[in-house]
Structure 1
Amino acid sequence: MSDDARFEDGEDKPLNLGALDAEDLNVISSLAQDAVFPASEMRWMKGQGRFALLLNRMRWEDEAKTRTAPERVQSVLVFSNVQSVASQGVPKGDADTVLSLLAVSFEETQSPSGHVLLTLAGDGAIRLTVEALDATLKDVTRPYLAPSKLRPTHPD
């Protein structure tokens, strides 16, 4: 028998959320907090105006009351209407670098345009200039026990 959790174990359903304003994006940010991903799992599809990340996110929405360890799940975070992408503190050309997402925020410049800021651990950041905010977070695998068996913590 596998140690991996199943959606049926908690009658959970995979997340499939959208954000069209900053308030919606705050919900996605809280669910994607502490997600980890290799730098090779970022894609900017310039011709389509899309930026996507394949994340291994903590299932913050699940308290793991019937399990002994917290879970992660692979999720795709996609931003549409992207006009440009800039980064700071993200190593170029090192696809094996593992990044940790701390927060996602939106700063409106001239309605409905603005900047999406992906704040990374270690002072890294990715800034997306968007024509209008349009983000989705969708779980694409079944949950699995977090390899560390620990939930990330942050100093107060």
Structure 2
Amino acid sequence: MSDARFEDGGEGPLRLVAQDADDLRVISTLVQDAVLPVTEMKHDAKRRRFALLLNRFRWEDRSEAEAVGRAYERVRSVLVVEDVLKVQSYGFDRTDNDLVLSLLSLDFAAGPDGTGRLTLTLAGDGAVALDVEALEVRLDDVTRPYRAPSGKVPTHD
């Protein structure tokens, strides 16, 4: 069998931008249970940008996959946060190059004049906190969907 293709589902890759809390909830739902090696998290202080290369479960395709009896899918996606002033990580070792992280949610706590803190909550009590000048988060699918290796919908205990 071959991997799924965007053309098979009649849909294209996701390209979303969040600039407020409501928009961020949509992106947070779509990246829930995305996995990534710790090495695929980068902060470019000069450009004030933080980026992650994710293996995202395609929640938007779950019902369709179940309805037609085909495999669940994942897709490689880039999550980019702009205007990052400060990055802090908690509960995991950023120097452990073999570590694989699971992203659970994105939450924004607004501060004065559009500033705030974006928290990326990870499974296992880890988190990444990003102090931002303004909320701007982009999610872009960068590959074609592929069969989810586990063949299962992610679950939480």
Pairwise same-fold verdict (TM > 0.5):
yes
- Counterpart residue number, 1:122: 124
Partners in 2 of 1:95 and 1:71 — Cα distance? 26
| Aligned-partner residue type, residue 56 of structure 2 | R
Q: CA deviation at 1:95?
A: 1.6
- Counterpart residue number, 2:103: 101
- Counterpart residue number, 1:79: 81
Q: CA deviation at 1:85?
A: 0.1
Structure 1 stretches of 4+ moved >4 Å: none
- Counterpart residue number, 1:58: 57
**Residue 32 (structure 2) pairs with residue 33 (structure 1):** yes
What 5-or-longer segments of structure 2 have no aligned partner?
none
- Counterpart residue number, 1:140: 142
Q: How many residues align?
A: 154
Taking structure 2 as the reference length, the TM-score comes to 0.95
- Deviation per residue, 1:68-94 (Å, 9 max, x gap): 321000000000000000010121311
| Aligned-partner residue type, residue 78 of structure 2 | V
Q: CA deviation at 1:67?
A: 4.4
What 5-or-longer segments of structure 1 have no aligned partner?
none
| Aligned-partner residue type, residue 24 of structure 1 | D
Q: Which has the higher helix share?
A: 2
Identity %: 56
| Aligned-partner residue type, residue 50 of structure 2 | F
Partners in 2 of 1:96 and 1:38 — Cα distance? 7
Taking structure 1 as the reference length, the TM-score comes to 0.95
Q: CA deviation at 1:129?
A: 0.2
Is the partner of 1:111 in helix, strand or coil?
helix
| Aligned-partner residue type, residue 146 of structure 2 | Y
- Deviation per residue, 1:1-41 (Å, 9 max, x gap): x4200001110110000000111000000000000000000
Superposition RMSD on alpha carbons, in Å? 1.0
Is the partner of 2:61 in helix, strand or coil?
coil
| Aligned-partner residue type, residue 106 of structure 2 | V
Is the partner of 1:125 in helix, strand or coil?
strand
